[in-house]
Amino acid sequence: MIMNPPSRSATRCPRHPFMRLASSVLCLGAMIHMAYAGAATAASTAVASPAATPAVTTPVADPLPAGSYTRELTLKQLGRLDTMNLQGVEASDAVNFNIRADEVVNGAQLVLSYSYSPALLADLSQINVLVNDEVAASLALPKEGAGQPQQQVVNIPPHLITEFNRLRLQFIGHYTMQCEDPQHSSLWAKINVGSELKLSVSPILLKDDLSILPLPFFDRRDASQLNLPFVFAKQPDNATLEAAGALSSWMGALATYRGANFTSALGQIPQQGNAIVLVESKEAVQLGSLQIPELKGATVTLLANPNDPRGKLLIVAGRDAAELKLAANAVAMGSKALVGSSVVIDHLDPLSPRQPYDAPNWVPSDRPVRLGELIETKQLSVSGYNPGNITIPVRLPPDLFNWREAGVPLDLKYRYTPQQESANSSLLVSLNNNFMKSMPLPSLKSLDGGDNLLAMLKKDESLPREARVLLPLGVASPRSQLQLRFMFDYIKQGECRDIIIDNMRGLIDPDSSLDLRGFNHYIALPNLGVFNDSGFPFTRLADLSQSAVILPDGSGPQEWGAYLTVMGRFGESTGYPATAVTVVQPKDVQSVRDKDLLVFASGANQPLLEQWASHLPAGFEGTGHRFSLSDLTLRVRDWISPDPQANQRKPRLQVTYSGANSSTYLAGFESPLKSERSVVVIASGKPEGLADATAALIGGDQYKDTIQGSLAVVQDKRITSLVADEQYYVGDLSLFKRMQWMLSQNLLWMLLVTVCGLALVSLLLFVFLRSRARKRLS
- pLDDT tens digits, one per residue of 515-547: 999 899 999 899 999 999 999 999 999 999 999
Residue 457: predicted pLDDT: 53
Strand-pair category, 226-232 with 342-345: unpaired
> Which 3 state secondary structure label does DSSP give 70?
strand
Contact 557, 232 (CB under 8 A): no
Reported confidence tier of residue 20, pLDDT bands at 50, 70, 90: very low
The CA distance from 417 to 413, in Å, is 14
Q: Considering the chain, what percentage of its residues have pLDDT values greater than 70? A: 80
Contact 128, 135 (CB under 8 A): yes
What b/e readout covers 237-246, taking b as 16+ CB neighbours within 10 angstroms?
eebbbbbbbb
Q: Which of 264, 714, 357 is nearest to 532 (CA)?
A: 714
Distances (CA, A) of 293 to 279, 318, 442, 725: 11, 12, 73, 54
Contact 203, 103 (CB under 8 A): yes
Contact 398, 523 (CB under 8 A): yes
Reported confidence tier of residue 65, pLDDT bands at 50, 70, 90: low
Burial degree of 471 (CB within 10 A; 0-12, 13-18, 19+): buried
The CA distance from 616 to 608, in Å, is 10
Q: With 80 as the cut, is the pLDDT of residue 243 above it?
A: yes
Reported confidence tier of residue 763, pLDDT bands at 50, 70, 90: confident
Residue 638: predicted pLDDT: 43
**Residue with the larger pLDDT of the pair 611 and 446:** 611
Q: With 60 as the cut, is the pLDDT of residue 1 above it?
A: no
- 400 DSSP 8-state letter: B
Which residues are CB-contacts of 643 (< 8 A; sequence separation ≥ 6)? none
Residue 266: predicted pLDDT: 95
How many Cβ atoms are within 10 Å of 502's Cβ, its own excluded? 9
How many Cβ atoms are within 10 Å of 359's Cβ, its own excluded? 26
Contact 364, 395 (CB under 8 A): no
| Mean pLDDT score of the chain | 82
Judged by average pLDDT, the poorest of 94-108, 559-573, 610-624 is: 610-624
Q: pLDDT of 308-354, one tens digit each?
A: 988 999 999 999 999 999 999 999 998 888 999 999 999 888 667 88
Q: With 90 as the cut, is the pLDDT of residue 425 above it?
A: no
Q: Which of 601, 677, 559, 664 is nearest to 245 (CA)?
A: 559
The CA distance from 528 to 704, in Å, is 16
Residue 497: predicted pLDDT: 59
Strand-pair category, 463-471 with 408-416: antiparallel
Distances (CA, A) of 103 to 99, 116, 154: 7, 36, 22
Q: Which of 2, 143, 131, 6 is nearest to 59 (CA)?
A: 2
Angle (nearest 5°) at CA 219 between 291 and 360: 110
Distances (CA, A) of 359 to 257, 367, 368, 478: 16, 14, 15, 13
Reported confidence tier of residue 13, pLDDT bands at 50, 70, 90: very low
Mean pLDDT of 651-673: 67
Q: pLDDT of 715-728, one tens digit each?
A: 888 898 876 557 89
- 672 DSSP 8-state letter: S
Reported confidence tier of residue 64, pLDDT bands at 50, 70, 90: low
**Residue with the larger pLDDT of the pair 734 and 120:** 120
Distances (CA, A) of 675 to 595, 671, 729, 730, 731: 11, 6, 9, 9, 12
Question: DSSP for 565-609?
Answer: HHHHHHHHHHSS--TT-EEE-GGGGGGGTTSEEEEEEETT--HHH
Residue 336: predicted pLDDT: 87
Radius of gyration of the chain (CA): 32
Mean pLDDT of 448-452: 52
Reported confidence tier of residue 404, pLDDT bands at 50, 70, 90: confident
Which residues are CB-contacts of 696 (< 8 A; sequence separation ≥ 6)? 703, 707, 712, 714, 719
Most confident of 23-37, 140-154, 489-503, 740-754: 140-154
Residue 663: predicted pLDDT: 81
Reported confidence tier of residue 57, pLDDT bands at 50, 70, 90: very low
Residue 460: predicted pLDDT: 55
How much is the pTM?
A: 0.80
- 632 DSSP 8-state letter: G
The CA distance from 429 to 426, in Å, is 10
Burial degree of 220 (CB within 10 A; 0-12, 13-18, 19+): middle
Q: Which of 35, 196, 200 is nearest to 103 (CA)?
A: 200
How many Cβ atoms are within 10 Å of 372's Cβ, its own excluded? 16
Q: With 50 as the cut, is the pLDDT of residue 267 above it?
A: yes
The CA distance from 731 to 497, in Å, is 63
